[in-house]
A and B are shown apart, each in its own frame.
Chain A
Amino acid sequence: MTATVTTPGPRRARFLSKKAVLPWLFLAPGLLLALVFKFLPMGKGVWLSFFDVRPFLGDKWVGLDNYTRVLTDHRFQDAIGHTLVLGIGMSLGGIVAGVLLALLLEGQARSLKIIRTAVFLPVVTATAVVGEMWRLMYYPTSDGLINSGLGLLGLGPVPYLDNPDTALWATMAMGIWMLAPYNMVIILAGLAGVDRSLYEAAAMDGVSLWQRLRHITLPAIRPALGIVLTLAAIRGLRVFTEVYVLTGGGPAGSTDVWMTRAYTLGFSRNDIGGASAASVLLLCVTLLLTVTVNYFRKRGDVR
């Protein structure tokens, strides 16, 4: 069967030959699912972004009005900054923490497996649950876990989420906590592929730990890092649940990110057209970012 597939077919294959149809048939379930649950809703979203959406009165075409409204709203403009800070901070923090965790927890020992599983738990926990947990940990009095720890050191309680200067950073810390273990797993897979003899050779040459990391480990896990970076960048911009559960965008909109703003517009102010426009804008930016990251990754790989 393998042979038949790899044998080049006749030059002028009939358009609907069995060979041409078969792969599509196998792809069909996946494509169909993607079509119904991804591409159609996405197309609908783009379509709605040009309308004042009133399903029962007839949608009203407003052209680019929704887009101008979103782009000129100062709350959306503020949200861009917060989204970038949060996205970049969470991505980089998640990668650094992920690499550190991976380096610490690489190995075959049973105890390491158990710790790895424990560390991975945040990833499989529902974000809403994690958010509520962190809200309790951040509780701004000595009853809160983190503040009671600070209390032992003689430091006063810090209102992490209720101070507009710290709320975004507190949200970021939770994001990193959730993201790092996921990155760790991908990087661990990369680490498993590092040629052990290189480490041995390096040990014989008497290189320092830092040199070993810099010249052997990091180059070896570069593809893994590339994947992690792409995923993190996309996730970072789309961040929603973390913020919604933890602060709801407050206080004073200091943690409002693009998606919480879009959500408020859509479901609190019932402006579906505006919310669609905001989402389409985010989609464009994410798409652009993904393509750019991929481009630089490919160029790096070639070099």
Chain B
Amino acid sequence: MRDRRRSHRLAAALTVSGLLFGTAACGSGSGSARAGDPNTLEVWTRSDPDSAQTYKRVFAAFTKKTGIKIDYQPVMNFDQQLQSRASTKDLPDVMINDTALMGSYQAQGLLKPITPASIAGHDEITAQSWSSTVGRDGRHYGIPYSRQAMTLFVRKDWREKLGLPQPKTWQDTLALAKAFATRDPDGDGKKDTYGMVVPGSAQNGYVAWWGASYLWQGGVRILEKEGTGYRPAMDSAAALRTVTWMKKNLFCGDNGVIQPSALTSVTANTTNFQDGNAGMYLTGPYNISTFDKALGKDKYEVLPAPAGPAGNDVLADGENVYFGAKTGKARLERTLAAFLISPEGQTLAMTGDHQPVVRIPVNSTLDAAKVRHDPRWSVVQKAYETASVQFPNAPDFAPVKQDTADALNAIFTYCGSDVRSGLKELNDTLAGDLKDQDLLK
């Protein structure tokens, strides 16, 4: 019995020490072994498995060319993971993520400032693109990597069957949407088609992202720059007119103008267009490869967004390359960035069998339509270059976008609600957000 107890004790002691060892190993961060290697960069991108394949190709070419190894992590819930990594004070060396997040990351001190001149090939990026990575303190915090602008995807076969022209104005869009919803464009004898797809959920700010193009076209800005700060501008007459139009005609108008689940839809579950039961979708060009596979190239067309009362500006966004703060691998990071913006790096990221991760190249020596042998991309490039507006990049835009989305979703949900008071309330909330950042003017 005594022996048995001793062996129990031994087992317990072993278990405990094993656990201690295990937790210690976990605690020091999963990437520590690789991060310790001075010739390896840890790179994060916000990518689904399909676009991750494209990134893998790009990084493989980079390693082959320079000998610098890449520890690549495609991360779906990027910001959640980044926050937990930030709390361990050990950031990835290089991150590729949305342009609109730069202000937010900078406000948290997650980024290294960047001198454009230190990146080889920096002069091939236009001054306009570079200006979109200037932070609050006037320094650059990102390197432009990919840009895109919204365009309108329309079911060409449906439109031609109904004998209607390409939509040029909001009124045309509305008329076309109504026709798609009521005149059975798919010819199955059932009323099961919708005019337009809308990711209208407030989750992750989607309705603000989608709706921004309409706001721009109505002459609305969410924030107006004023001196060194900003002023919320969602209580303007233009905002009232535009949001009222959207509410009255899209969300509270005739049945079927937009898909019925719009108010709780995010892009991931808004598949009506590719499923073949909706006729229009104002969205980013990253969908082209998906739609080609699901619908076929000949079934749909890519058009510039129809104009509203103040023109046809659309939301432009894209991805920047960010350098994590305090990673100590600045030279390797700059080498990678130079490759990513080079014609070779950009072309690799725009082509291949998987979803492209560079939509409109930032490298001005490239032309999206020529690289892809696909004239539809020139529509996107033209929209980006001539008729697009980005979210302001200097402030921490995350709360502004989220609050705008919450308010718009509420206004569109309650059809009987007063738009003016809804927007007034939003404007006060936005003023609070700006005040938190000491940016309110």
Contacts and interface: CB of A to CB of B under 8 A. Distances in A.
Interface of A: 1, 22, 25-26, 28-29, 32-33, 36, 53-57, 75, 132, 135, 139-143, 157, 159, 161-162, 164, 167, 244, 246-254, 264, 266-272
A269 B402 contact: yes
B409 A252 contact: yes
Contact of A26 (B12, B107, B203): B12
Residue from B1, B77, B79, B412 having most chain A Cβ neighbours under 10 A: B79
Interface string B324-345: 0110000000000000000000
A36 B23 contact: yes
A139 B396 CA distance: 36
B402 A268 contact: yes
B338 to A, nearest CB: 25
Nearest to B110: A56
B56 to A, nearest CB: 26
Given A164-B413, A251-B413, A270 B260 contact: no
B398 A269 contact: yes
Contact of A267 (B79, B269, B406): B79
Contact of B261 (A56, A161, A164, A266): A161
A147 to B, nearest CB: 10
Given A139-B261, A248-B264, A56 B409 contact: no
A267 B410 contact: no
B327 to A, nearest CB: 11
B38 to A, nearest CB: 22
Interface string B78-111: 0110010011010100000000000010011110
Nearest to B90: A55
23 contacts: A1-B1, A25-B13, A32-B19, A36-B27, A56-B91, A56-B325, A57-B108, A135-B269, A139-B261, A140-B261, A141-B192, A159-B261, A161-B261, A162-B263, A249-B202, A249-B203, A250-B203, A251-B409, A268-B204, A268-B402, A269-B402, A272-B83, A272-B87
Interface of B: 1, 5, 9, 12-13, 15-16, 19-20, 23, 27, 77, 79-80, 83, 86-87, 89, 91, 104, 107-110, 192, 201-205, 260-264, 266, 269, 325-326, 396, 398-399, 402, 406, 409-410, 412-414
Contacts of A266: 83
Q: List the 9 shortest-distance A-B pairs measured between CB atoms, nearest first.
A: A248-B203, A56-B109, A252-B413, A57-B109, A252-B410, A251-B263, A140-B260, A251-B413, A55-B86
Given A143-B192, A270-B398, 6 more contacts: A28-B16, A57-B108, A135-B269, A161-B261, A164-B413, A264-B402
A267 B15 contact: no
Given A25-B9, A32-B19, A268-B402, A251 B108 contact: no
B414 A164 contact: yes
Contacts of B80: 267
Given A139-B261, A248-B202, A252-B414, A54 B266 contact: no
Given A143-B192, A250-B264, A268-B205, A55 B87 contact: yes
Given A55-B108, A269-B398, A161 B325 contact: no
A140 B205 CA distance: 22
Contact of A32 (B23, B91, B201, B205): B23
Nearest to A55: B86
A254 B413 contact: yes
Nearest to B111: A56
A113 B38 CA distance: 59
Given A57-B109, A270-B108, A162 B261 contact: yes
B260 A29 contact: no
Contacts of B9: 22, 25
B428 to A, nearest CB: 11
Contacts of A135: 269
A75 B402 CA distance: 13
A56 B322 CA distance: 15
A250 B83 contact: no
A268 B398 contact: yes
B108 A56 contact: yes
B15 A29 contact: yes
Contacts of A132: 269
Contact of A248 (B5, B16, B27, B266): B266
B12 A270 contact: no
Contacts of B262: 162
Contacts of A141: 192, 260
B264 A270 contact: no
Contacts of A26: 12
Contacts of A252: 202, 263, 409-410, 412-414
B409 A55 contact: no
Contact of A162 (B204, B260, B414): B260
Contact of B83 (A1, A246, A267): A267
Contacts of A157: 260
Given A56-B325, A248-B264, A250-B263, A270 B79 contact: yes
